[in-house]
Amino acid sequence: MKTRLTLSFDPDVVTMAKGYTQSRGVSLSALVEQYLDKQTRLGEESIASHWRGKFEPAKKHGDPRYDFLAKKYLD
């Protein structure tokens, strides 16, 4: 059984959202429900954790600013 929920949005956002949902053949309620489900799911990784470890740090040893930031953020 579904639960009703009252939300307030900017009228322009509602207009754009209705156009978006109409073009995709889904209801506005379904769109909001899918978004909230995705955002509140337990164990959902953050953007930072998703990208952590995917990039190699620049090789700028000897630059005092780089050394300070590398020690602060990479160690």
**Do 17 and 28 form a contact (C-beta atoms < 8 A)?**
yes
Taking 70 as the pLDDT cut, the residues of the chain under it are 42-44
Tell me what pLDDT residue 36 has: 87
**Which residue's structure tokens are 């309620």?**
29
Q: What is the pLDDT of residues 33-46, one digit of tens each?
A: 998 888 787 666 77
Tell me what pLDDT residue 53 has: 83
Flag whether the pTM goes above 0.95.
no
Spatial CA neighbour of 3 closest among 40, 31, 29 = 29
